[in-house]
Amino acid sequence: DTGVSQDPRHKITKRGQNVTFRCDPISEHNRLYWYRQTLGQGPEFLTYFQNEAQLEKSRLLSDRFSAERPKGSFSTLEIQRTEQGDSAMYLCASSLLRGGLFEQYFGPGTRLTVT
C-alpha cells in the first residue's frame, strides 16, 4: 500500500495561467475526492468520483475548474485562468466501502501559489 500520491507538491504560477494537478489514489479504492484548504480552515469539498463517474460537485467548483478520472484510476484537476484567490492547498483523498464506511485517506496535497 503506497498511499495516495499527488503531483506536483508545489506549484507557483502567474495569474491567468492554467494549471493541472494529478492524484493517484490507493489502488483498490473506487472513490476519489478533491478538497481545497486555505490557511486557518479545514478542507472544503470540491468534487468526487466513483470509478470514472463524477457524482457530485460543490458550488465552490467554478466554471474555471474541471476534474477528470478517465479510466477510474488517477484523476486530474485543472484550473483555467488562475486567480490569486485560487492560492490554496489542493488535497486528494480516496476511499473504499469497508464495514459500511467510506473512510477517506488523503494524499500530501499540492500547494498552489498564484502570483
Partner 1 sequence: TQLLEQSPQFLSIQEGENLTVYCNSSSVFSSLQWYRQEPGEGPVLLVTVVTGGEVKKLKRLTFQFGDARKDSSLHITAAQPGDTGLYLCAGRNSGYSTLTFGKGTMLLVSP
Beta-sheet pairing, 44-50 with 19-24:
unpaired
Instruction: State the nearest-atom distance from the C-beta of 81 to partner 1, in Å.
Output: 26
Rounded distance between C-alpha atoms, residue 6 and residue 34, angstroms: 11
- Report the residue number, 61 or 80, with the smaller CB distance to partner 1: 61
Check binding of 113 to partner 1 (CB under 8 A). no
Check binding of 74 to partner 1 (CB under 8 A). no
Check binding of 23 to partner 1 (CB under 8 A). no
Written as one string, the DSSP assignment of 50-103 is ETTEEEEE-TT--TTEEEE-TTSS-EEEEESS--GGG-EEEEEEEE-EETTEE-
Q: Which stretch binds partner 1 (CB under 8 A): 11-19, 68-76, 77-85, 100-108?
A: 100-108
| x-marked contacts with partner 1 along 27-46 as a string, rule CB under 8 A | ----x-x------xxxxxx-
Q: Give the closest residue to 36 by CA, choosing from 23, 24, 25, 27.
A: 23
Instruction: State the nearest-atom distance from the C-beta of 109 to partner 1, in Å.
Output: 5
Positions in the binding site for partner 1 (CB under 8 A): 4, 6, 31, 33, 40-45, 48, 55-56, 91, 93, 100-109, 111
